[in-house]
Amino acid sequence: MRILVLALLLGVTLDSLAASGRVFVTNEKGDSVSVIDTKTNQVVKTIAIGKRPRGIGLAPDGSAIYVAVSGENHIAVLDPATLEVKGSFPSGDDPEAFAVHKNGNIYISNENDAKASVIDPHTGKLVTEIEVGIEPEGVAISPDGTRAIVTSESTNMLHIIAIPEHTVVNSILVGARPRSATFSADGKLAYATSEIGGEVK
Amino acid sequence: MKSIPTTFQAPSRWLTHLLIVLLATLATSPTWAATPVTVRIAFIGPADGDAHAGAQQGIKEANAQGKFLGLAYQLVASADIGAARAAKASAVVVDADAAALPAIAAAAPELPVLNVRAEDDALRTQCVGNLFHTIPSQAMRSDALAQWHKKQPGSQATAQAWHASAELYAGSQLNKRYSDASGRAMNDQAWAAWAAVKLVSDTVARLHASEPVGLLGALRKDLAFDGQKGVDMSFRDNGQLRQPLLLVENGKIVGEAPVRGIAPNSDLDSLGNTACAK
C-alpha cells in the first residue's frame, strides 16, 4: 500500500515536470529505489539506497531526488539524470514522510521523536525542529509556502505550522490515525486520510 | 470547538485508509485556553504493577495531545474510591480483583470506573452503569479460541488483548514507547490500562470537557477509540470494550479474532457476551 501511494505521489510530481517520464518508487523492505519508465512500464534501474527507504520527493528545480532512509536516519540525494546516489545529509531520528518547500527546504516528520525537522539540503544543516504529536507522519506545504501541515497518527491531529516562523499555530483533532495530508491547488483546503477513523468532516 | 465528527464503520481496513477528511478551514479554528486545564485520572491498585505502568504511558501520550489543546493530565494514585472523588478525578482506573469492583463502582455512580484486571463474565452481565472493562472477558478469550480452533484444530494458541511483538497498526511503535519508558514488555493489563487512560483523554479532548457525568455518557455512546489494533473500538451496553484479540502461540502472534472466514463479517460482538442478566 505504502509503495503504491508513494509511486502515485511521485509520479504526479515528475509528470508535472514533463521531462523524465520516470516514476521512482521506494522499496521499504528491499532497501532500494526502483526506477520505472512510464512509456514501457518497465523497471529500468534498481538503486541500492540504504535501510528502509520511505518518503521520496523532488527538489523544486528538479535537480535532485530526496529519499528518507528511515533505518539510517538520513536523507539520500539521487541525481535524476545519472540515477546515482550523489550524497546524503542527517535527518533526525527515523525520518518517514517529508515535503519540499518551494524555497528548497525539506520538512520531515520524525516518527519516533514526535518532532518535525526543517533541513536546508544545500548545507545539510538543521534549520529548526518543531514539537508535534506522537508518530508524526504526513507532511504537506501550502502552495503559497506560508503553512505546513504535519499529521500525528497517535495523537489524531493535524498540526498547522506557520512558515517562516516555524510555530504550531493550530492543532486540529481529526479521526483516528491521520496519515497522509495534502493541500488543494489554491491552498484553501487541506485533505488528510484517516486510516481508522474513516470520516468526512 | 466544532462538533464531534460522525464516524462510521467502513467495510474494510484498506478502504478506510482511502477515505478522506475534509477540513473546511485551516485558519479560523480556535485554539484552547493558554492556561492548561488540569484533568485528573485516579488510579486504584498496586503502584508497581503492569497496569500502573500502562496507565502512566497513557498519561504521557494524553499530555502529548493535551499540550496542543490546553489540557494537562495527571494520574492520581488513590487508596480508594473516596480518595479518587476527593481528588476531583474525572475517571478512575482500577487494577483490582473482581470482588472489589462492584462496591467501587457503586460508591461513585457519577464517575466512570475502568476495570483493567478482572476478566470475570459476571462483572459484565451485571451491566453496572458506570463500570467499564478494557480488559477482555473470559468469554471473549474462549470464543476467540473456539473460532481459531475451527480454522486451526489442535492449535495451542492463547487469546490475548495485546502482545509485545504486535507490529501492525503502529503496534510496534506503541510497544517501543512503552518499553523505552517502563523497561517492561507490554502485556494485557498494561495495554488495558493504557487504553483506559487514552480513551478517557481522547473523549475529554473531543468534548473539551472533563466533568464526569458528561464523560460517562460520551464513553457509553460516542466512543470510537483507536487502540492500535486496526479498528475503532466502542463499549458494549454491558460496559465491555469491543476489541479484536491476538492469538499467540509459542510467543508469536499467529492470528487474530474475530477469525476471518469463521466469525460472520468479523463481528467484534462474536467474542464474549453482549447481554445483561435479567
Q: Under an 8 A CB cutoff, do B68 and A200 touch?
A: no
At a CB cut-off of 8 Å and minimum separation 6, what does B110 contact?
A: B130, B212, B213, B216
Residues of A in contact with B22 (CB under 8 A): 189, 191, 200-201
**Is residue A29 within 8 Å of residue A51, measured between CB atoms?**
no
Q: What per-residue confidence (pLDDT) applies to B28? A: 37
Per-residue confidence (pLDDT) for residue A96, from 0 to 100: 87
Measured CA to CA, the distance from residue B136 to residue B235 in angstroms comes to 12
One DSSP character per residue, A28-90 reads TTTTEEEEEETTTTEEEEEEE--SSEEEEEE-TTSS-EEEEEGGGTEEEEE-TTT--EEEEEE
| Chain A residue whose CA is closest to B68 | A171
The contacts found for B5-11 with CB under 8 angstroms, 24 or more apart, are B5/A174, B5/A175, B5/A197, B5/A199, B5/A200, B5/A201, B6/A199, B7/A175, B7/A197, B7/A198, B7/A199, B7/B224, B7/B232, B8/A198, B8/A199, B9/B232, B10/A198
Whether A1 and B18 lie within 8 Å, measured CB to CB:
no
Tell whether A95 lies on the interface with B, counting CB pairs under 8 A. Answer: no
pLDDT score for B212: 97
What is the model's pLDDT at position B57? 98
Q: Which chain B positions have a beta carbon within 8 Å of A193's beta carbon? A: 17-21
**Chain A residues whose beta carbon lies within 8 Å of the beta carbon of residue B222:** none
Residue B80 contacts A, CB cutoff 8 Å: no
Mean pLDDT of B69-88: 97
Tell me the CATH number of domain A1-90, given options 2.30.300.10, 3.65.10.10, 3.40.190.10, 2.40.10.480.
2.40.10.480
Nearest to B226 among A133, A160, A177 (CB): A177
Dihedral in degrees, nearest 10, Cα atoms B115, B118, B120, B124: 0
Is any Cβ of chain A less than 8 angstroms from the Cβ of B176?
Answer: yes
Computed over every residue of chain B, the mean pLDDT equals 89
Mark yes or no for CB contact B65/A133 under 8 Å: yes
Quick: pLDDT tens for B234-269: 999 999 999 999 999 999 999 999 999 999 888 999
| A162 has a chain B CB within 8 A of its CB | no
Low-confidence ranges of chain A (pLDDT < 70): 1-20, 195-201
Report how far residue B175's alpha carbon sits from residue B232's, in angstroms, rounded to the nearest whole number.
19
The amino acid at residue B236 is R
Q: Do B20 and A154 touch (CB under 8 A)?
A: no
Q: Which range has the worst mean pLDDT, A171-185, B13-27, B61-75, B256-270?
A: B13-27
Question: Would you state the pLDDT for residue A111?
Answer: 86
Q: Where are the domains of chain B?
A: 32-270
Task: Give residue A108's identity as a one-letter amino acid code.
Answer: I
- Find chain A residues with C-beta within 8 A of B15's C-beta: 198
User: What pLDDT score was predicted for residue B181?
Assistant: 97
Q: Does A1 touch chain B (CB under 8 A)?
A: yes
pLDDT at A196: 60
- CA-nearest residue to B62 within chain A is A155
Residue A195 is predicted with a pLDDT of 67
| CA–CA distance, A154 with B175 (Å, rounded to integer) | 13
**What local confidence, expressed as pLDDT, does residue B118 receive?**
98
Task: Return the pLDDT at B119.
Answer: 98
Q: Is the dihedral of CA B42, B183, A74, A4 positive or negative?
A: negative
> Considering the domain B32-270 in this protein, what is its CATH number?
3.40.50.2300
Surface-to-core class of residue A123, CB atoms within 10 Å of its CB (0-12 exposed, 13-18 middle, 19+ buried): exposed
Residue of A nearest to B229 (CA): A196
Taking 60 as the threshold, does the pLDDT of residue B8 lie above it?
A: no
Mean per-residue pLDDT, B2-10: 36
Distance, CA of B222 to CA of B215 (rounded, Å): 10
A156 touches chain B (CB under 8 A): yes
CB pairs under 8 A between A and B: 128
Question: Measured between CB atoms, which of A114, A147, A171 is closest to B69?
Answer: A171
Closest to A190 (Cβ–Cβ): which among B13, B23, B231?
A: B23
Task: Report the percent of chain B where pLDDT is more than 90.
Answer: 84
The string of pLDDT tens digits covering residues B161-205 is: 999 999 998 899 999 999 999 999 999 999 999 999 999 999 999
Amino acid (one-letter) located at A74: H
Which amino acid, residue B274? T
Name which of A2, A3, A146, A154 to mutate to probe chain B: the one with the most chain B Cβ atoms within 10 A of its Cβ. A154
Give residue A92's pLDDT. Answer: 86
Amino acid at A41: N
Residue A176: predicted pLDDT: 87
The three cell numbers of residue B149 are 480452533
Q: What is the DSSP string of B178-226?
A: HHHHHSS---HHHHHHHHHHHHHHHHHHHHT---HHHHHHHHHHH--EE
